[in-house]
Structure 1
Amino acid sequence: MHAMQYEITLPADYDMSIIRNRVATRGHLLDGFPGLGLKAYLIRERGPHSPVNQYAPFYLWSAPAGMNAFLWGPGFQGIVDDFGRPDVQHWTGLAHEEGAASTALPRTAVRRRQPLPPGTDLPSAVEEAVARTARFARLDGVVCAALAVDPRHWELVHFSLWADDSPKAVGDRFDVLHLSESDRSGLGRGKQW
């Protein structure tokens, strides 16, 4: 499993209905994309829960070939053509768990980044984070939860999808406009090694 996200931060007065319409008319195009575990079409709107307007899709890839086909194909080129080329963050998958509400359509997503500073006992920190992901997935309202790591910057990313607007998670909160899930079962369950 690989996790990937790009963030397109928009002006404070940007009409976010443009992004909502984009997702409503184009989101279905990745519904059957090979190698895509899931893509959550995420936005944040400037206000009580966010300091910025942002379009920030989050992907879980079941196969690296799918991620590469997307990045070097017409799907990502559409983003580049419309918004410029964003930095693409990516993380190696550590764990994926289906949640207590796994069959529900998600309404909210939460992403939390956790630095792993020098001196951290990496095996212990990762094992604890994997166990925490499994416990977290059992909470009411969780559609799924994933854990990944960026070993270049030594950062964990915790990602969860929620069936309601009141997630019991701390982190950056996003609204989910659409969910493409071509190969969600291919993400596997539990620890990824």
Structure 2
Amino acid sequence: MHAMQYEITLPADYDMGIIRTRVATRGHLLDDFPGLGLKAYLVRERGDGSPVNQYAPFYLWAAPEGMNSFLWGPGFQGIVHDFGRPVVQHWTGLAYEEGPASGAAPVGATRRRTPLGEGAPPGEAVADAVARHAREARRDGVVASALAIDPRHWELLAFTLWAVGEAPADEGDRFRVLHLSAPGRELLGAGRQW
């Protein structure tokens, strides 16, 4: 599993209805994309618990070939054409869990980044994080949750989809989910990824 996200930060007075229309008219195009586990079409709006207006799709890829096909194909070129080429962040998958609300459509998402302490042995820190992630994924309202790591910066990333209207405030950055494409969700596996 590979996690990927790009963030398009928009002007403070940007009409976010444009993004909502974009997702409503184009979101379905990845509903059967090969190699894609899931894509959450995410937004944050200034004044609604966010300091910025942002379109920030989040992907979980079941296979790197799918990710590469998207990045080098026409799908991502539409983003580049309309907004310029954003930085694409990506993380190596550590664990994936379906939550108690896995049958529900997600309406919110959270992203929490946690640096690994410089003195922390990576193997122990990752094992602890995976165990904590498995417990946290069993909370009420969780649709699905993924844990990944950026070994370049030694940063853990926890991404959770929520079925409840407001994701918990202490979970990091909060987003609204406009659409979920999940053609290969079952291919993401359960539990740790090694």
TM range (shorter): over 0.9
- 1:48 to partner: Cα distance: 4.0
Distance, in Å, in 2 between the alignment partners of 1:141 and 1:170 is 13
- Counterpart of 1:183 in structure 2 is 184
- Answer yes or no: is 1:24 the counterpart of 2:16: no
- Counterpart of 1:151 in structure 2 is 151
- 1:105 to partner: Cα distance: 0.2
SS of the residue corresponding to residue 156 of structure 2 reads strand
Map of 1:8-157 to 2, 5 A cutoff? Answer: 8-157=8-157
SS of the residue corresponding to residue 153 of structure 1 reads coil
After TM superposition, the runs of 4+ consecutive aligned structure 1 residues lying more than 4 A away are: none
- 1:167 to partner: Cα distance: 2.1
Consecutive unaligned residues of structure 2, counting only runs of 5 or more, are none
Consecutive unaligned residues of structure 1, counting only runs of 5 or more, are none
- Partner AA of 2:178 in structure 1: L
- 1:170 to partner: Cα distance: 1.3
- Counterpart of 2:193 in structure 1 is 192
SS of the residue corresponding to residue 171 of structure 2 reads coil
Q: Encode CA deviations 1:29-53: one digit per residue, 9 max, x unaligned.
A: 0000000000000000001410000
Distance, in Å, in 1 between the alignment partners of 2:94 and 2:8 is 26
SS of the residue corresponding to residue 49 of structure 1 reads coil
- Partner AA of 1:182 in structure 2: P
TM-score relative to the length of structure 1: 0.98
How many pairs does the alignment contain? 193
Distance, in Å, in 1 between the alignment partners of 2:17 and 2:31 is 22
- Counterpart of 2:175 in structure 1 is 174
TM-score relative to the length of structure 2: 0.98
Distance, in Å, in 1 between the alignment partners of 2:133 and 2:165 is 20
